């Protein structure tokens, strides 16, 4: 079987399953898994919610950019990006460099069914706010190298990503 690209970045909206699918994918590929949000929390010793509350979104986006740049030389790695990371041009560029980027695409209802509106995701407001945010972001997500339907069980989504990656070897950017 053909080998998958060496760095895979999963992008998409909150609730698309980037973390859950990313873990499964990394295990199947024998790659390391990295979650950008968890790296930011580990690096700062604070939760995402606390960073937004205490320092604001711009400070969080700066941390996100630094995290993306810090992961840019990784090989044999699957990265779950935060839902806003790919909408910021500099962060998007860092994530795309030498990687294959995949948009896990799902509709609003699926996303909402998967996330708790408990404050842990500061931008996850009510349904109308989420609908507007998703609509605003789709053009950015569509800049990923490929799109995969993220509806359904995570292991099936991971199967779809894997099939796609194995068909794309050699096609990813240097």
Question: CB atoms < 10 A from the CB of 116, how many?
Answer: 9
Q: Which 97-116 residues touch ligand S3P, going by CB under 6 A?
A: none
17 binds ligand S3P (CB under 6 A): no
84 near ligand S3P, judged by CB under 6 A: yes
Among 62, 110, 123, 143, binds ligand S3P (CB under 6 A): 123
Q: Going along 43-145, which residue ranges are E strands?
A: 77-80, 100-105
The dihedrals phi and psi of 33, each to the nearest 5 degrees, come to: -105, 135
Do residues 78 and 8 lie in contact, with contact meaning Cβ atoms separated by under 8 Å? yes
Can residue 34 be called a binding residue for ligand S3P (CB under 6 A)? no
Applying CB under 6 A, the site for ligand S3P has a residue count of 10
Neighbours of 144 (CB within 10 A): 24
Question: Residue 3 or 107: which CB sits closer to ligand S3P?
Answer: 107
State the nearest-atom distance from the C-beta of 31 to ligand S3P, in Å.
Answer: 19
Stretch that binds ligand S3P, among 76-84, 89-97, 106-114, 151-159 (CB under 6 A): 76-84
28 contact partners, CB below 8 Å, separation of at least 6: 158, 162
Task: Report the SS3 class of residue 77.
Answer: strand
Residue 14 touching ligand S3P (CB under 6 A): yes
Q: Which of 13, 5, 7, 3 is nearest to 138 (CA)?
A: 13
- Binding test (CB under 6 A) with ligand S3P, winner from 7, 88, 96, 121: 121
Which positions touch ligand S3P (CB under 6 A)?
14, 18, 37, 48, 82-84, 121-123
């Amino acid at each position: 079987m053909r080998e998958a690209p060496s760095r895979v970045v999963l992008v998409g909206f909150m609730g698309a399953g980037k973390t859950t699918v990313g873990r499964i994918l990394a295990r199947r590929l024998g790659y390391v898994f990295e979650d950008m949000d968890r790296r930011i929390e580990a690096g700062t010793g604070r939760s995402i919610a606390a960073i937004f509350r205490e320092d604001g979104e711009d400070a969080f986006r700066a941390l996100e950019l630094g995290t993306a740049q810090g992961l840019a030389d990784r090989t044999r790695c699957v990265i779950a990006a935060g839902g806003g990371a790919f909408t910021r041009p500099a962060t998007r560029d860092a994530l795309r460099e030498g990687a294959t980027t995949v948009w896990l695409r799902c509709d609003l209802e699926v996303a909402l069914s998967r996330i708790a509106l408990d404050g842990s995701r500061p931008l996850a407001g009510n349904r109308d706010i989420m609908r507007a945010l998703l609509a605003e972001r789709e053009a950015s997500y569509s800049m990923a190298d490929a799109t995969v339907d993220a509806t359904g069980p995570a292991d099936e989504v991971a199967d779809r990503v894997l099939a796609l990656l194995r068909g794309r070897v050699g096609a990813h950017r240097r």
